Amino acid sequence: MSRFMVLSTTRQALPALAFFMLLLAVAACGGSAAPADVAGGSSPEAAAEEQRLWIKQGEETLAFANGDEVASNGITAEIFVSPYPPRRSANIDFYLTRAGGPVEDANITLQYDMTVMEHGPFQLLAVPTGRGHYLAPMDFAMSGDFWLNVSVDADGGESVINMLVRAVR
């Protein structure tokens, strides 16, 4: 094989190789570390029904519906995400109660980052809005899956809630 033929074949292969590498990069960015039981679909109705929230309890990652409760260390937290399904900008409202009454003087700190590629970690303090409600305005770096480590400090005790949120465009 002449040197000209090798050079010509290499030039022809480069665009195909570049396209393949771009395809791999796009697939890596859209990858998901969420549990595999998520229903797919391209219609808005299917997207609205797709699982978007999970709670990690021990070694298990469990599906979590918007507005569900999770209890930790004597505190119950109702968690609402708005808009739902979560967008790249979303608010998370934590409604904290203990023995049926609102928890007024808590500090809620969130630390979060993407599961498949690091952008942070990002950290923010939820804003108390009264009567046990705390609002966390989230700004996800891009669409994808994000782990949230939520630390609730109330009455000298700390509770930790680990969540997974799938943000969409």
- For 5-28, how does the pLDDT look when each residue is reduced to its tens digit (9 = 90+)? 444 444 454 444 343 333 333 333
For 114, other C-beta atoms within 10 Å of its C-beta total 21
Task: Give the whole-angstrom CA distance, residue 45 versus residue 32.
Answer: 21
Task: Give the whole-angstrom CA distance, residue 51 versus residue 35.
Answer: 10
Task: Give the whole-angstrom CA distance, residue 138 versus residue 15.
Answer: 40
Task: Give the whole-angstrom CA distance, residue 75 versus residue 143.
Answer: 31
Nearest-CA neighbor of 77 among 151, 139, 168, 12?
A: 151
Give the predicted TM-score (pTM) of the model.
Answer: 0.70
- For 61-93, how does the pLDDT look when each residue is reduced to its tens digit (9 = 90+)? 999 999 999 998 899 999 999 998 899 899 999
Alpha-carbon 67 to chain mean position: 16
